Amino acid sequence: MEIVAYGVLADEEPLLREAFDRAFADRHELRCLGLFLDRDTAPTAEGHEVVLSGVNDTLDAEVLRSLADGGTRLIAQRATGFNNIDLTVAGELGLTVARVSYYSPYSVAEFAWALALAVDRRIVRAAHRTREFDFRLDGLMGRDLHGRTAGVVGTGKIGTAFARIAHGFGMRLLGWDITENPDCLALGMRYVEHERLLAEADLVSLHVPLLPSTHHLVDAEALALMKDDAILINTSRGGLIDTDALLGTLRAGKPGGVGLDVYEEEAGLFFLDKSLEVMTDERLARLMTFNNVLVTSHQAYFTRDAVEQIAEATVRNIEDYFAGRTGDNTLTQPSGPVPHRRAHG
């Protein structure tokens, strides 16, 4: 059987193929496509019972109906998040949907810290200067993070890994979540209300999933609570931040720095080369004009360790589907959506 995977990155493909070869040998053939799955490309999945999707694919009602009509029965998402999939419609159409509920939390947590340090110490601006043999330090002054306060919004596996690194820096820890994590409490974290965390933290890092309850969690009101010189980091989902509100506060001179690995309108932009085109997304273009804002293209997860684990979990999801099994990764089965716990990143 041929299985088709959408949005496969060049560095991802060999790891995905290795996992397939180990698990399936000659039983299933993998077809990797660089294009993303949406209403225009969905017809290319016709005749494929199993489809592998990614975070920037669009699996709304129209796409899901097209897939179901073409014979697809399993959608295996190569990611933890699934906000791009209409699970209700998928269940109604008899589609099984699975995701990767776990991969290396260190990949994202470490990258969040890479963003935080790069923003705090003006690393990108410094690198651009030295390439031009400009070795001045004007405008490059950062600040020690030791002794300051880190606010961790979402203390699941990734948030906990981020908190451990903050603890290693000697930072005071504040946390916000629906439940308190004993591992974070052991680090000395104090759980507080969302508003207090924003008001007291020198560094705010977002590690919650994108749900209706967390959409635009960081809005104009939240940004107004933050310290003028605070640093805001988002390596989770772009929709957690109201981009228009962020642009407004940046124009007003706060927060002190922003590191974004995700953007709420990133689909159709991230993972693609747009360098020879006119940037029509005005909000993203405006974000890029601020010298205290660093934007990367959803690469926090992108380590060999994490991608190998994602590939292996995807293979297991396929094996479970053919064996008629469900598990922690199953989001829907033919009878409808599977109840699942809200898992913070």
Question: One of 48, 99, 298, 316 is an active-site residue; which one?
Answer: 298
Question: One of 12, 200, 264, 266 is an active-site residue; which one?
Answer: 266
Is 266 assigned a catalytic role?
A: yes
Q: In the numeric block, which tokens belong to residue 21?
A: 């070869």
Burial of 92-109, coded b for 16+ CB within 10 Å and e otherwise, reads bbebbbbbbbebbbbbbb
Strand-pairing partners, residue 226, are none
Which residue is it, tokens 């000395």? 188
Length in residues, the chain = 345
The residue among 293, 300, 297 whose CA lies nearest residue 273 is 297
Is 282 assigned a catalytic role?
A: no
Q: If you ran DSSP here, which 8-state letter would residue 26 be given?
A: T
CA 278 to chain centroid, in Å, comes to: 25
Question: One of 148, 237, 316, 344 is an active-site residue; which one?
Answer: 237
Q: In the numeric block, which tokens belong to residue 168?
A: 């290693």
The angle that helices 105-120 and 123-131 make with each other, rounded to 10 degrees, is 60
Whether the CB-CB separation of 28 and 314 falls below 8 Å is answered with: no
Whether the CB-CB separation of 233 and 205 falls below 8 Å is answered with: yes
Strand-pairing partners, residue 96, are 74
Whether the CB-CB separation of 163 and 187 falls below 8 Å is answered with: yes
Strand-pairing partners, residue 97, are 75, 332
Q: How far apart are CA 104 and CA 277, in angstroms?
A: 35
Q: In the numeric block, which tokens belong to residue 198?
A: 């924003």
Is 65 assigned a catalytic role?
A: no
> Which helix (H) or strand (E) element contains residue 98?
strand 96-98
Strand-pairing partners, residue 218, are 241
Task: List residues with catalytic annotation.
Answer: 237, 266, 298
